[in-house]
């Protein structure tokens, strides 16, 4: 039995293993996947002395709880929440020592949506195509956590960095402002659609997930009724299905699609989308980057 492991006591609504994802397999129909809030994932790893590509646990809204089998160092960042060891409060956004046999409980998010739980040495599930990430669309990687699962941990690669013991990351957005680079299918929309998109106010829909952030608000009208052949889709693409409401593609998005893409949101803004709870106001700003 691997002494460096954690047992899942409470899986939470959706907790998955994530790293930086599977780059370079889109030609095989495999999305990149990986942590939705990559800055938070990287920061959690930094706090416990891991390299950026070490696997963490990505929690969704309700947190998770695990029992560690050996003394380890952990950190929780991303969506703010209460963190407890054996029922006693400990620091969020800091490196914390978890004694062998203790239960580390990551509580529900008090703001935002997704938290990142890192352990010194990383979560050491078996890689698939070079990544340990759970991909909800293709089914690659480990299944979402379930109560009773046991996850191996890797060997720590170094000490906790000096001066990196407190989180300084910005909080979840109260309004999601998304710069949009137009294209490639503006000709599929009626004249003025981009102007309408920039002037409209949307909200994050409850149907959003790791595949895409869906919106509620004024529909955009297509100018054409013929069928668009499937074509490649990039991370951050804003696709408009027949109901006219934009969908922002996130880490588990499909690599091809048959609906027109009105523009693309640069990747550096997608971490904010990862933390936007349903109902958060959304505003697109058209840019010529």
**Cα(133)–Cα(125) distance, rounded to whole angstroms?**
9
| Burial of 266: CB neighbours in 10 Å, binned 0-12, 13-18, 19+ | middle
pLDDT value of position 2: 63
Angle at 260 between CA 257 and CA 266, to 5 degrees: 85
Domains detected in the chain: 5-152 (no CATH), 176-286 (2.40.100.10)
Q: What percent of the chain has pLDDT over 90?
A: 82
pLDDT value of position 122: 98
Q: Are 178 and 257 in contact (CB under 8 A)?
A: no
Q: Are 251 and 33 in contact (CB under 8 A)?
A: yes
Q: Are 67 and 9 in contact (CB under 8 A)?
A: yes
For residue 80, give every residue at least 6 positions away whose Cβ sits within 8 Å of its Cβ, in sequence order, or none: 92, 93, 109, 110, 111, 112, 171, 172
pLDDT value of position 171: 72
User: By three-state DSSP, how is residue 195 classified?
Assistant: helix
**Cα(167)–Cα(47) distance, rounded to whole angstroms?**
9
**Cα(95)–Cα(97) distance, rounded to whole angstroms?**
7
pLDDT value of position 161: 64
pLDDT value of position 24: 87
pLDDT per residue as tens digits for the range 98-129: 999 999 999 999 999 999 999 999 999 999 99
pLDDT per residue as tens digits for the range 154-205: 999 877 665 545 556 667 889 999 999 998 998 899 989 999 999 999 999 9
Q: Which positions of the chain have pLDDT values less than 50?
A: 164
How far, CA to CA in Å, does 112 sit from each of 16, 84, 170, 250, 282? 17, 19, 11, 16, 14
pLDDT value of position 133: 98
The pTM assigned to this predicted structure is 0.94
pLDDT value of position 27: 83
Beta strand residue intervals within 120-195, DSSP E: 150-152, 176-182
pLDDT value of position 265: 97
pLDDT value of position 108: 98
| Burial of 195: CB neighbours in 10 Å, binned 0-12, 13-18, 19+ | exposed
pLDDT value of position 239: 96
């Amino acid at each position: 039995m691997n002494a460096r492991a954690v047992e899942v006591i409470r899986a939470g609504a959706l907790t998955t293993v994530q790293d930086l994802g599977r780059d370079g397999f889109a030609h095989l129909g495999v999305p990149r996947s990986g942590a939705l809030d990559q800055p938070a994932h990287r920061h959690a790893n930094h706090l416990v002395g891991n390299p950026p590509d070490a696997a963490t646990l990505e929690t969704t809204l309700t947190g998770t709880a695990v029992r560690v089998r050996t003394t380890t160092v952990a950190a929780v960042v991303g969506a703010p929440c209460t963190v407890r060891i054996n029922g006693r409060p400990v620091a969020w956004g800091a490196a914390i020592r978890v004694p062998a046999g203790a239960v580390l409980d990551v509580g529900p998010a008090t703001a935002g949506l997704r938290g990142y739980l890192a352990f010194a040495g990383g979560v050491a599930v078996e890689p698939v195509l070079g990544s340990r990430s759970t991909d909800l669309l293709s089914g690659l990687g480990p299944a979402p956590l379930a109560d009773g699962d046991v996850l191996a941990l890797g060997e720590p690669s170094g000490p906790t960095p000096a001066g990196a013991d407190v989180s300084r990351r910005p909080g979840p957005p109260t309004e999601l402002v998304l710069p949009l680079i137009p294209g490639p299918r503006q000709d599929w929309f009626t004249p003025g659609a981009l102007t309408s998109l920039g002037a409209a106010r949307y909200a994050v829909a409850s149907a959003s997930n790791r595949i895409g952030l869906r919106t509620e608000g004024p529909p955009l009208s297509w100018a054409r009724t013929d069928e668009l052949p499937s074509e490649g889709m990039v991370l951050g693409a804003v696709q408009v299905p027949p109901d006219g409401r934009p969908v922002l593609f996130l880490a588990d998005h499909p690599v091809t699609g048959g609906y027109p893409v009105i523009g693309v949101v640069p990747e550096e803004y997608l971490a904010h989308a990862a933390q936007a709870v349903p109902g958060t106001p959304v505003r697109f700003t058209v840019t010529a980057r």
